Amino acid sequence: MSTGPRLEMIGVRKRFGATVALDGVDLSVLPGECHALVGQNGAGKSTLVKVLSGAHPADQGELRIEGAPYRPHSPIDGRRRGVAMIYQELSLAPHLSVEANIVLGVEPARWGWLDRRETRRLALEALAQLHHPEIHPEARTGSLTVAQQQIVEIARALAIGCRVLVLDEPTSSISQRDADQLFVLIDRLRGQGLSIVYISHFIEECKRVAQRYTVLRDGRTVGGGAMADATPAQIVDLMVGQKVGHLYPRSARTPGEEILSLEGLAGLEKPSRADLSLRRGEVLGIAGLVGAGRTEMLRSVFGLDPVRSGSVRVGAYAGPASPARRWSQGMGFVSEDRKNEGLALGLSVADNLTLSKLERIVLPQRQDSAARKWIELLSIRCRDSSQCMSDLSGGNQQKIALARLLHHDVDILLLDEPTRGIDVASKAQLYQKIDDLVSRSGKAVILVSSYIPELLGTCDRIAVMCRGRLGPARPAGLLDEHALILEATGEAA
Amino acid sequence: MSGRSLLIRLGPLLGLFAVFLFFLFKVWSHTGRNVFATPENLQTIALQSAIVGMAGLGMTMIILSGGIDLSVGSTVALTSVTVAALLKFQGWPAFPAACGAVLAGGLCGLLNGVLVTQLRVVPFIVTLGTMLIFRGAAKGLADERTVIPGASMLDSLLDVGSVLPSGVWLLAILAAVVALLLRYTRFGRHLYATGSSEAAARLCGVPITRVKIQAYVLGGLFAGMAGLLQYSRLTMGDPTAAPGLELDVITAVVIGGGSLAGGEGSVIGTLIGALYMPTIRNGCSQTGWAPWKSEIAAGVIIIIAVATDRWRHRRGL
pLDDT of residue B40: 84
pLDDT of residue A266: 94
**B190 shares contact with chain A (CB less than 8 Å):** yes
Supply angle C-alpha A355, A358, A363, rounded to 5: 110
Q: Which residues of A455-467 are buried (b: 16+ CB within 10 A; e: fewer)?
A: bbbbbbbbbbbbb
Tell me the three state secondary structure of residue A131. Answer: coil
One domain for residues A343 and A441: yes
Using CA atoms, how far residue A277 sits from A305, A415, A493, B168, in Å, is: 20, 16, 23, 63
Cα B228 from Cα B167, distance rounded (Å): 9
- Nearest CB to B201 within list A344, A345, A363: A344
Contact across the interface for A361 and B184, Cβ inside 8 Å: yes
Nearest CA in chain A to B264: A346
pLDDT cut 90: percent of chain A above it: 49
Amino acid in the structure at residue A75: P
A269 or B217, higher pLDDT? B217
Cα A489 from Cα A36, distance rounded (Å): 15
Taking 60 as the threshold, does the pLDDT of residue B176 lie above it? yes
One domain for residues A156 and A14: yes
**A229 shares contact with chain B (CB less than 8 Å):** no
Rg (CA), chain B: 19
Å from B316 to nearest chain A CA?
11
pLDDT of residue A18: 65
| pLDDT band at residue B3 using 50, 70 and 90 as cut-offs | very low
* Nearest alpha carbon to residue B275 among B295, B293, B248, B294: B248
Å from A207 to nearest chain B CA?
41
- pTM for the model stands at 0.79
Domain ranges of chain B: 3-315
pLDDT of residue A45: 85
Tell me the per-residue pLDDT of A114-148, one tens digit each, with 9 for 90 and over.
Answer: 888 989 998 998 888 888 888 999 999 988 888 89
Count structural domains, chain A.
2
| pLDDT band at residue B90 using 50, 70 and 90 as cut-offs | very high
- Nearest CB to A323 within list B188, B190, B204: B204
Rounded to the nearest integer, the mean pLDDT of chain B is 90
Cα B284 from Cα B27, distance rounded (Å): 8
- Within 8 A by CB and 6+ apart from A43, the residues are A216, A217, A218, A219, A239
Q: What is the dihedral of CA B134, B136, B141, B143, to 10 degrees?
A: 160
Interface test with A, best of B190, B203, B266 (most A CBs within 10 A): B203
One domain for residues A266 and A184: no
Architecture of domain B3-315: Orthogonal Bundle (1.10)
Taking 80 as the threshold, does the pLDDT of residue B183 lie above it? yes
Count the Cβ atoms, other than its own, within 10 Å of residue A311: 12
Taking 60 as the threshold, does the pLDDT of residue B314 lie above it? yes
**B313 shares contact with chain A (CB less than 8 Å):** no
A251 falls within a domain: no
Cα A482 from Cα A486, distance rounded (Å): 6
* Nearest alpha carbon to residue A31 among A101, A77, A73, A82: A82
Tell me the per-residue pLDDT of B126-142, one tens digit each, with 9 for 90 and over.
Answer: 999 999 999 999 999 99
Across A187-201, A372-386, B3-17, B89-103, least confident range: B3-17
pLDDT of residue B203: 93
Summarize the confidence of residues A326-353 as an average pLDDT: 92
One domain for residues A208 and A151: yes
Chain-centroid distance of CA A295 in Å reads 11
Using CA atoms, how far residue A374 sits from A15, A184, A443, B234, B309, in Å, is: 33, 56, 18, 57, 34
Contact across the interface for B205 and A324, Cβ inside 8 Å: yes
pLDDT cut 70: percent of chain A above it: 96
Q: Which of residues 29-48 of B touch A (CB under 8 A)?
A: none
**A341 shares contact with chain B (CB less than 8 Å):** yes
User: Tell me, what's the ipTM?
Assistant: 0.82
State phi, psi for B245 to the nearest 5 degrees. Answer: -60, -35
A118 falls within a domain: yes
* Residue-number span of the structural domain to which A34 is assigned: 7-240
Which region, left, alpha or beta, applies to residue A344 given φ > 0 means left and ψ of -120 to 50 means alpha?
Answer: beta
Taking 50 as the threshold, does the pLDDT of residue A1 lie above it? no
Taking 60 as the threshold, does the pLDDT of residue A243 lie above it? no
| pLDDT band at residue B4 using 50, 70 and 90 as cut-offs | low
A248 falls within a domain: no
Cα B154 from Cα B152, distance rounded (Å): 5
How many Cβ pairs within 8 Å bridge chains A and B?
A: 82
- Nearest CB to B197 within list A304, A340, A404: A340
| pLDDT band at residue B163 using 50, 70 and 90 as cut-offs | low
Contact across the interface for B201 and A342, Cβ inside 8 Å: no
One domain for residues A344 and A302: yes
Tell me the per-residue pLDDT of B237-289, one tens digit each, with 9 for 90 and over.
Answer: 999 988 889 999 999 999 998 988 899 899 999 999 999 988 998 898 888 88
pLDDT of residue A234: 84
Q: Which of residues 272-311 of A touch B (CB under 8 A)?
A: 302, 304
One domain for residues A214 and A113: yes
Taking 90 as the threshold, does the pLDDT of residue A330 lie above it? yes
Positive or negative CA dihedral for B242, B244, B250, B251?
A: negative
The CATH code of the domain that includes A281 is: 3.40.50.300
pLDDT of residue B271: 95
Tell me the per-residue pLDDT of A424-467, one tens digit each, with 9 for 90 and over.
Answer: 677 888 898 999 999 999 999 999 998 888 899 899 999 999 98
Taking 80 as the threshold, does the pLDDT of residue B316 lie above it? no
Cα A377 from Cα A355, distance rounded (Å): 19
One domain for residues A373 and A298: yes
**A336 shares contact with chain B (CB less than 8 Å):** no
Tell me the per-residue pLDDT of A402-411, one tens digit each, with 9 for 90 and over.
Answer: 999 999 999 9
Å from A104 to nearest chain B CA?
29
One domain for residues A143 and A272: no
Amino acid in the structure at residue B236: M
Q: What is the dihedral of CA A263, A267, A270, A271, to 10 degrees?
A: -10
Interface test with A, best of B197, B214, B259, B260 (most A CBs within 10 A): B197
Tell me the three state secondary structure of residue A268. Answer: coil
| Domain end position, chosen among A185, A213, A240 | A240
A493 falls within a domain: no
**B314 shares contact with chain A (CB less than 8 Å):** no
Q: Within A15-174, where are the H helices?
A: 45-53, 75-80, 98-102, 116-129, 146-159
pLDDT of residue A194: 93
Q: Which of residues 203-222 of B touch A (CB under 8 A)?
A: 203-207
| pLDDT band at residue A4 using 50, 70 and 90 as cut-offs | confident
pLDDT of residue B159: 72
Tell me the per-residue pLDDT of B26-60, one tens digit each, with 9 for 90 and over.
Answer: 888 888 888 888 888 888 888 889 999 999 999 99
CB-hemisphere CA count at 13 Å for B73?
A: 16
Rounded to the nearest integer, the mean pLDDT of chain A is 88
A252 falls within a domain: no
**B125 shares contact with chain A (CB less than 8 Å):** no
Contact B265, B249 (CB under 8 A): no
